[in-house]
Structure 1
Amino acid sequence: MGDDFLAESLQYVKGVGPKRADVLAESGVRSVRDLLQYYPRRYLDRSTVTRIADVPRAQGTVSIVAEVLVTGSPPGKGRQRRFEMVVGDGSGRIKCVWFRGAAWIGKLFKKGDRVALHGKPQAFRGSWNFTHPDFDRLDEDGPSLDTGRIIALYPGSAPFERIGLNSRAFRKIIWGLFRDHGLRLRDPFPESLRSQYNLMEGRVALRAIHFPKNQAELQEARRSLIFEELFFIQLMLARLRRVRVQRKGIVFGPRAGMSARFEQEVLPFTLTGDQRAAIGDIVEDTQSGRPMNRLLQGDVGSGKTVVAVAAMLHALDHGYQSVFMAPTEILAEQHYRNLISFLEPLGQQVRLLVGAQRKTYRKEILAELANGQVAVAVGTHALIEDPVKLARLGLVVVDEQHRFGVMQRAKLLGKGDAVHTLLMTATPIPRSLAMTVYGDLDVTVIREKPAGRKPVRTLLRNEKQRDAVYQQIREELAAGRQCYVVYPLVDESEKLDLKDAESGFAQLQNVFSGFRVDLVHGRMSGAEKDEIMERFKAHETDVLVSTTVIEVGVDVGNASVMLIEHAERFGLSQLHQLRGRVGRGSDQAYCI
């Protein structure tokens, strides 16, 4: 390997080769540096392993090490198919069950295998079992817990298993790197900084995170590597910020004209104090002589769009165009309708640019943007395509900014010269985290809700309480309100997603007989989805069964209940977005 061996491709590392390197690359592990930073997800030692006999007295998640005694797949099709395995450790036996991925998981185990299992045990019909535990196979010739060793266990996947990349393989490959090249690892920090913050030497911390001698060394290594990662993130953001503040930006004048008329003549409500403060921040940024780069954070329904409209009108008052980019066509169309209602009374034109448009109509829009005839363009990724030219772009607004890559945002900014940027997100970000991850941005938070809005009550219910939940929904429907029932994506499969929603739709038509139940999902055409959503918005439908297509872009003030099935399959950000679909009116809303 050359001098900069950390940048070398993994295919040249002993134990990897081209085939394994290709599979690792698909998971983002491409170089020696990536592999050394592919940290274990957990560790096993005598202090962290529970005997099966002690499982009934254990609290929360446990780890066991045992031998596979029995494996099998009871008869069943589709969602009823499962893989079962009984393991024992000399102190007792316990059953493990997998419903998802049963086919490929069943191929991984055979009688006599030594395995580590991690999960929350549950009592079922008088015996204890694990449902969908995490697992690691431990070869007989691997390290023994009896020696007092701490054993690193690495993140795995089906592709890794197929080419033999289990935890033992990772340990063997990484140990070879330390043995042959460990002394070539350079410390990222000078001795003075290490001493000041009591940090481990870089190469020692890396070795200890993979092969810790004891728990104390492991904790010290983890602390040192966390410090290193955060240090370089902050260094990168500080450099970006310095470059940004040195750039010259478009200078807007004071707020006047249409921006003021919008608030006085068009808005049917009074702005909240936080909205006024946000507009003030934007006006100040655009007068500073530097390009604005501001993150506007606020809960769903807090009024971020109104602030964005005020910002676009401020740009228009000073002779500049604005673009508003959203992640989905549904959301782009929702914003388009809102912007028309806000801007057309002021005599300003808005155009929608999305992928599915007639060529002739699209050509007209592109010409209007290029000659400056249109003030505001709303759209999806279609806005960043090469044919899109703008006469005088002054402001870019990006909604749900975390859904766009850095390069996509940069390409949009490239449509103008030193333009101002307003990024918007509904995902709640603690201030300390926002300052760390978005250190190159200025952050404005909208905390106040518009007058009359009540906080959504979030409830966790189990299967035994389903009838009571259905009764609560019936009462809301009888009072004239509406409800969403959301099903998750399953294994990222549109077919399974559709099957879940459709089977739920059939069942709920009986559960809510007497009420109008409809279904919307991602396999429908845009026209079908629009028609169904318009029916729900017009209250021609009482219950809307859906997948995550309603996660963004749906604004129905009369919807007061959202029931989310299999909530554990969603991320926190998704759950937050879904919950934001209710509570948009004056009635108390519930997310279950």
Structure 2
Amino acid sequence: MKLIDLPNLSTKRIKALSESGINSILDLLNFFPRRYLDRSTVLSIRDVKGQGEEVTVVGRVKKILQQGYGRKKRLEVIIQDDTASLKGVWFKGGHYIKKQFSEGQMVAFFGTAKKYGRYISIAHPEVNKIGDQSDIADFSRIVPIYPGNKALSKTHTTSKLIHRWQKIVLKHEKPPEFLPDTVRKDYDLPLRHKAYRMIHLPESDSEYKKAFQRFKFEELFLFELSVAKTKNSIIEKHQGPLFEDLGNYTQRFFNQHLPFELTDGQKSSLSDIKKDVRSGKQMNRLIQGDVGSGKTIVAIGAVLMALDNGFQAAFMAPTEILAEQHYHTLSTFLEPLDINIRLLVGNQKNSLRTDILTDIAGGNAQVVVGTHAVIQDEVTFNKLGLAVIDEQHRFGVKQRAEILQKGSHPHVLVMSATPIPRSLAMTIYSDLDISVIKGLPGGRKPVKTAVRPQKKHDEIYNFVEQELEDGGQAYVVYPLVEESEKVDLKDATAGYKKLKKRFSGYNVGLLHGQMSSEDKEAVMQQFIANEIQVLVSTTVIEVGVDVPNASIMIVEHAERFGLSQLHQLRGRIGRGQRQSYCVLIHGQKVSKEGRFRLKKMVQTNDGFEIAEADLELRGPGDFLGTKQSGLPEFKVADIIEDQWILEQAKTEAWRLINSDPDLQNNENQELREVFIPYYKEKSRFYGMG
């Protein structure tokens, strides 16, 4: 059967369907309802309570009235059954709707019932004309409501018409099953063709819910199968550099030069890395930890393992300011070991750049720290054995794949200081093994957080002055407004001028994204050296700046920030021995979500708890920021609500790939036919293949 075989399908409607992603019969079957109206029980009007419940009632039209005047004119249609009367009310379009009714006519109303005065009313009810009892039976069922858009509306392609088409298709078509029988039976999933009927022609709410569960599993299973296939066919088979020796660099650093005791999380992560780099296979590991949990020391441990075995290491960061911070951190920690570390960023002078590139190609540069400049074509490594990528979510899957071309399958260590909820980690980081560093290094005190209105500025500044007198330093951060750096800069500059006057006895600095790399570096170095006591900044200090003496973070218009961003900003303080304080200042009007975010920041310092709350508020796409993050787009499944299905799908996908990696077994042939084109498409889009 083809789309053109359907009745009432004009050329304009074919175009409207195509604009809605429907170009075949299978596309139509996969055009799922967005919600359902449960009209399966027709109530006597007397039994309707009028407390906001959705009801279906049937009665004869008793009166048709037009009430009120001008814009407030409304249509009222009173219907009556053997028990009582009920009123349908239309506040718009009454003149046209009135023509549908005649007194004595039998009609059915469906909608939300509310009691007003002595009457129970339904505003703008759905109306069906009833001819006989069979019409009542047809009306009183679960009705699917399909997504609408301009193209469908313009061509009068109604939900009712789409439902009619689905009925016709399901009489003639029986889509084949491709889930393995054992998987389907283990999770009690209906056969595919039955699931389509249960979605489009449900006889109960449990039917369509069960069908949706099947299609969610199917979608997540195919995705997890593609991830498992990628890892099995590429990553698992790639021979990674063998780091057998924990030699001079590693032993000297951890035994003689590390100025603190490693936490259990750091030790566990280093143990995972050591196991990976000795396996003979390419390491692809994510180190997840909260702000200040000590991921950099773990990365340094991995770098030293590479150097001990004669390999170079690359250390990538998403921004120049973060790359420069890492360069200084590594240089400080590794200075006693006499290791050659080079910084490669975009705006360096040609002579310096040439010198660095020569050093990298010749192997003299043992560690290369930089931005995405590290993976440009002109950069040639002598013997790259390890790539460390910081703040992975700011790169993109394809950029992560590019680093693999810079050496003979170098080990990859990904770090993220943005806690990712488990449901997201299972999708965007499915091809990575994950180590989590929980807790803070010894001696760190949790940051105390408070929320204050703008009228408390004087009180807040007095508190800041006390901290400055006691030797502390402060950040004052202004938000991005509509992603406009110009507006942002204006706000920060105005704040800078005001604060210079208020804290005239101290040095106040300004940092923003439009400054040159050299100027930003100079300001940060002054702040680190305590030559600047108050740093007024835009969000460029969100990640990567480590100033142990900074003890106060003031965020202006905090209600404009996302939860994870607020947590990242708070993570810039509390990195030393001092008690630190974060003050979130809000404007006069704060939304319900804004109030929730501010309250959550006061309640907890746990980045993973904050990330879960932020994910629920914003959804996966906004949480990660861009589609470049590698987040798959699912049509039916929701990775927040359906995490349990995701875990089932992942378990079964890996089980299948381990037993039949190329899906050659007879029982997997139908799955293979569906999976191969799916895998090719996903591999191109997500850079998995």
For the criterion TM > 0.5, the same-fold answer is yes
Tell whether 2:531 aligns with 1:540.
Answer: yes
Conserved 8 A contact 1:483-1:560: yes
Q: Give distance in 1, aligned partners of 2:444 and 2:337.
A: 28
Tell whether 2:374 aligns with 1:353.
Answer: no
Conserved 8 A contact 1:473-1:561: yes
Tell whether 2:231 aligns with 1:231.
Answer: no
Q: Give distance in 1, aligned partners of 2:24 and 2:476.
A: 45
Tell whether 2:479 aligns with 1:488.
Answer: yes
Q: Give distance in 2, aligned partners of 1:573 and 1:482.
A: 23
Match of 1:281 in 2: 272
Partner AA of 2:213 in structure 1:
R
Match of 1:325 in 2: 316
- Cα distance, 1:178–1:41 mapped onto 2, change above 3 Å: closer
Match of 1:550 in 2: 541
Equivalent residues in 2 for 1:70-81, closer than 5 Å: none
Query: What per-residue deviation string (whole Å, max 9, x for no partner) do you get for residues 523-576 of structure 1?
Result: 222222222222322223333222211111211112122223344443343233
Tell whether 2:429 aligns with 1:438.
Answer: yes
Q: Which has the larger radius of gyration?
A: 2
Q: Give distance in 1, aligned partners of 2:562 and 2:26.
A: 29
Which residue of 193, 198, 221 corresponds with 2:188?
A: 198
How large is the Cα RMSD of the aligned pairs?
A: 4.4
Shift of 1:38: 9.2
Tell whether 2:4 aligns with 1:14.
Answer: no
Partner AA of 1:14 in structure 2:
K
Query: What per-residue deviation string (whole Å, max 9, x for no partner) do you get for residues 239-258 of structure 1?
Result: 23323223322212131211
Q: Give distance in 1, aligned partners of 2:320 and 2:245.
A: 34
Conserved 8 A contact 2:152-2:158: no
Equivalent residues in 2 for 1:116-265, closer than 5 Å: 183=173, 187-190=177-180, 193-200=183-190, 202=192, 216=206, 219-243=209-233, 244-265=235-256
Query: What per-residue deviation string (whole Å, max 9, x for no partner) do you get for residues 330-376 of structure 1?
Result: 01011111112233321221111111111222122111111111111
The alignment of Structure 1 onto Structure 2 pairs a total of residues equal to 487
Q: Give distance in 2, aligned partners of 1:281 and 1:526.
A: 36
Match of 2:576 in 1: 585
3-state SS of paired residue (2:382) = coil
Q: Give distance in 1, aligned partners of 2:494 and 2:200.
A: 46
Match of 1:137 in 2: none
Q: Give distance in 2, aligned partners of 1:521 and 1:181.
A: 60
Match of 1:362 in 2: 353
Q: Give distance in 2, aligned partners of 1:218 and 1:493.
A: 45
Q: Give distance in 1, aligned partners of 2:336 and 2:533.
A: 33
3-state SS of paired residue (1:246) = coil
- Cα distance, 1:43–1:560 mapped onto 2, change above 3 Å: farther
Match of 1:389 in 2: 380
- Cα distance, 1:502–1:320 mapped onto 2, change above 3 Å: same
Partner AA of 2:16 in structure 1:
G
3-state SS of paired residue (1:14) = helix
Conserved 8 A contact 2:146-2:162: no
Which residue of 556, 563, 576 corresponds with 1:565?
A: 556
Gaps of 5+ in 2: 4-11, 40-49, 53-70, 76-90, 95-123, 129-141, 585-689
Match of 1:416 in 2: 407
Query: What per-residue deviation string (whole Å, max 9, x for no partner) do you get for residues 139-165 of structure 1?
Result: xxxx965679675678xxxxx99x999
Match of 2:444 in 1: 453
3-state SS of paired residue (2:406) = coil
Q: Which has the higher contact order (CA 8 A, sep 6+)?
A: 2
Gaps of 5+ in 1: 4-10, 47-52, 56-85, 91-110, 115-142, 155-159
Q: Give distance in 2, aligned partners of 1:288 and 1:357.
A: 38
3-state SS of paired residue (2:243) = coil
Match of 1:135 in 2: none
Conserved 8 A contact 1:150-1:213: no
Query: What per-residue deviation string (whole Å, max 9, x for no partner) do you get for residues 405-448 of structure 1?
Result: 12211111111112211111112235575455534322222224
Partner AA of 1:197 in structure 2:
Y
Shift of 1:513: 5.8
Match of 1:120 in 2: none
Query: What per-residue deviation string (whole Å, max 9, x for no partner) do you get for residues 480-537 of structure 1?
Result: 3222222222222222322333344445456656554333221222222222222322
Partner AA of 1:547 in structure 2:
T
Equivalent residues in 2 for 1:487-526, closer than 5 Å: 487-509=478-500, 514-526=505-517
Conserved 8 A contact 1:351-1:377: yes
Conserved 8 A contact 1:393-1:416: yes
Conserved 8 A contact 2:289-2:419: yes
Conserved 8 A contact 2:16-2:152: no
| TM-score for both structures, normalised by structure 2 | 0.61
Q: Give distance in 2, aligned partners of 1:526 and 1:495.
A: 18
Identity %: 49
Tell whether 2:401 aligns with 1:400.
Answer: no
Q: Give distance in 2, aligned partners of 1:323 and 1:227.
A: 39
Conserved 8 A contact 2:13-2:157: no
Conserved 8 A contact 2:249-2:308: yes
3-state SS of paired residue (1:269) = coil
- Cα distance, 1:523–1:192 mapped onto 2, change above 3 Å: same
Q: Give distance in 1, aligned partners of 2:261 and 2:284.
A: 27
Which residue of 293, 300, 311 corresponds with 2:291?
A: 300
- Cα distance, 1:481–1:209 mapped onto 2, change above 3 Å: farther
Match of 1:102 in 2: none
Partner AA of 1:231 in structure 2:
F
3-state SS of paired residue (2:482) = coil
- Cα distance, 1:165–1:280 mapped onto 2, change above 3 Å: farther
3-state SS of paired residue (1:413) = helix
Q: Give distance in 2, aligned partners of 1:342 and 1:580.
A: 21
Q: Give distance in 2, aligned partners of 1:484 and 1:380.
A: 25
Match of 2:121 in 1: none
Q: Give distance in 1, aligned partners of 2:241 and 2:523.
A: 43
Query: What per-residue deviation string (whole Å, max 9, x for no partner) do you get for residues 367-395 of structure 1?
Result: 11111111111111111111111111111
Which residue of 241, 265, 272 corresponds with 2:263?
A: 272
Q: Give distance in 2, aligned partners of 1:173 and 1:336.
A: 64
- Cα distance, 1:548–1:366 mapped onto 2, change above 3 Å: same
3-state SS of paired residue (2:543) = coil
Q: Give distance in 1, aligned partners of 2:406 and 2:337.
A: 26
Conserved 8 A contact 1:16-1:173: no
| TM-score for both structures, normalised by structure 1 | 0.69
Conserved 8 A contact 1:44-1:152: no
3-state SS of paired residue (1:555) = coil
3-state SS of paired residue (1:454) = coil
3-state SS of paired residue (1:402) = helix
